A = this chain, B = another copy of it.
Amino acid sequence: MSELLTIGETASRSGVAASALRYYEERGLIASVRAGSGHRRFPRPVLRRIAFIVFAQRVGLTLEEIASELGKLPPDRAPTRRDWSRLSSTWTARIDDRIAELERLKAGLTECIGCGCLSLERCRLANPDDRAARLGPGPRYWVGDRPVSAPGGAGTPATCAQESAKIAR
């Protein structure tokens, strides 16, 4: 196995389709050198970069965000483990936010839907925010929101009784 991989080798080793790799290169996420024929040759360390991309996507980052993260890696030398782990260190809070919303949704299954309240206006469970609430067209990704402080509520959802009264009015 040589130092340089063809796009096919890179694809099969990373599990990412060749077309996706070309797309990543076009977006500046990865780089290749070209053989005389014009064919791409990926240096082996690109595999770790691809792995990072896939991982970051699962965490919920967009390719744009991932590109900016990758831009923080040292350009002059091969990234160390420390470099990689520094990149991902900020994600923990993000993941925790997601988990927190999922827990809220789960609680809402019994509390809000179960009781029939289901208010959209104040019940935090269904209060889009973050990327899900971004303006413009396009699909709304499932994402976590952050607690909205409501007057008198201090972040606590209104009671189901209150909400039922409101929505039924």
Contacts and interface: CB of A to CB of B under 8 A. Distances in A.
A106 B58 CA distance: 11
A120 to B, nearest CB: 5
A165 to B, nearest CB: 13
Contacts of A145: 58
Interface residues of A, number: 59
Given A55-B126, A113-B85, A102 B105 contact: no
17 contacts: A14-B120, A52-B113, A54-B126, A55-B125, A57-B140, A60-B142, A81-B114, A81-B116, A84-B113, A85-B110, A85-B113, A89-B109, A95-B102, A95-B109, A98-B98, A98-B102, A141-B141
